[in-house]
């Protein structure tokens, strides 16, 4: 198959997934509403606080990277995993498997669609934070922001596809998918600094992908950051989890 044909199939599948996403108005609304709601609530409650351990930045500027990470995880890992399970239960995946569409094109299109949703959510959240809550953003770290968003989104997309194979049915999907990630969200510094947490807990959090994504984005917003804002260690951990998710997804993914 030519590269042009492969790209065309992937983009067509991504377009199809986008239509499915936006036609489900309730799911699309809550995908965007949850991160924005957390931004408004936490920023209102802690608007005047400053984080001394992070260079004295305002709480809102500290919180922005965390809520961006949460939004990316919701738009990629959570939505993709639950959506894949529901498509499997409804027989959609079985029918797709019987068409000439290559499996890799189907998965690549799903991932690309999730990436698009995650990037759009990031733009909206960042715009709201800067305009309404005076979040400090450094233009020279834009490359680091894009790198964290792309690598982090790709990582959680593969993990979403990987865990979908372990979910027995659609009824269990929300519980299992959220249970696998929410404890990590709370111990990874998404909503508040974890500087005073026990060392063992911080080490556990750093071994999983949520904390590296949050730290990579924190590095972008940290006023002490020089250069492009790319944190190589966090990128390496996210890249490693991307490969882990890819391997597991290839072995565990089920069409029926």
Q: Whole-number mean pLDDT of the chain?
A: 84
Name the percent of the chain lying above pLDDT 90. 14
DSSP letter (8 states) at residue 54: G
Predicted local distance difference test score (pLDDT) of residue 117: 87
Sorted by where each begins, the domain ranges of the chain are 3-252
Query: Cα–Cα distance between 28 and 92 in angstroms, integer?
Result: 20
Q: pLDDT digit string (tens) for 161-193?
A: 999 989 888 888 889 998 888 888 888 877 777
| Residues 240-247, mean pLDDT to the nearest whole number | 92
Predicted local distance difference test score (pLDDT) of residue 244: 93
Query: Cα–Cα distance between 73 and 75 in angstroms, integer?
Result: 6
Sole residue written with tokens 């959506």:
83
pLDDT grade for 254, boundaries at 50, 70 and 90: confident
DSSP assignment of 173-235 equals HHHHHHHHHHHHHHHTTSSS--TTS-HHHHHHHHHSSHHHHHHHHHHHH-TT--TT---HHHH
CB 13 within 8 A of CB 101: yes
Predicted local distance difference test score (pLDDT) of residue 52: 66
Q: Residue 167: which H helix or E strand, with range?
A: none
Instruction: Could you list the beta-strand ranges (E) of the chain.
Output: 50-51, 57-58
Q: pLDDT digit string (tens) for 105-145?
A: 888 888 888 888 888 888 888 888 888 887 878 888 889 99
Looking at the predicted structure, is the pLDDT value of residue 1 above 60?
no
């Amino acid at each position: 198959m030519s590269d042009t044909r492969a790209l065309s199939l992937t983009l067509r599948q991504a377009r199809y997934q986008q239509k499915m996403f936006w036609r489900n108005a309730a799911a699309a609304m809550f995908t965007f509403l949850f991160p924005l709601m957390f931004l408004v609530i936490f920023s209102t409650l802690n608007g005047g606080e400053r984080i001394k351990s992070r260079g004295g930045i305002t709480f809102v500027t500290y919180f922005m990277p965390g809520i961006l990470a949460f939004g990316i995880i919701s738009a990629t890992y959570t939505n993709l995993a639950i959506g894949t399970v529901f498509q499997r239960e409804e027989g959609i995946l079985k029918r797709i498997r019987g068409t000439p569409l290559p499996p890799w094109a189907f998965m690549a299109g799903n991932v690309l669609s999730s990436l698009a949703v995650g990037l759009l959510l990031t733009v909206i959240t960042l715009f709201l934070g800067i305009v309404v809550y005076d979040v400090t953003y450094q233009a020279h770290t834009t490359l680091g922001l894009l790198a964290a968003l792309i690598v982090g989104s790709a990582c959680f997309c593969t993990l979403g596809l990987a865990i979908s194979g372990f979910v027995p049915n659609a009824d269990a999907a929300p519980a299992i998918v959220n249970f696998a990630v929410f404890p990590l969200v709370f111990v990874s510094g998404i909503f508040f600094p974890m500087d005073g947490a026990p060392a063992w807990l911080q080490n556990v959090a750093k071994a999983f992908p949520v904390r590296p994504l949050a730290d990579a984005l924190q590095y972008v917003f940290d006023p002490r950051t020089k250069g492009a804002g790319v944190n190589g260690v966090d990128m390496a951990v996210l890249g490693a989890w991307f490969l882990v998710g890819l391997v597991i997804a290839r072995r565990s993914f089920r069409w029926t």
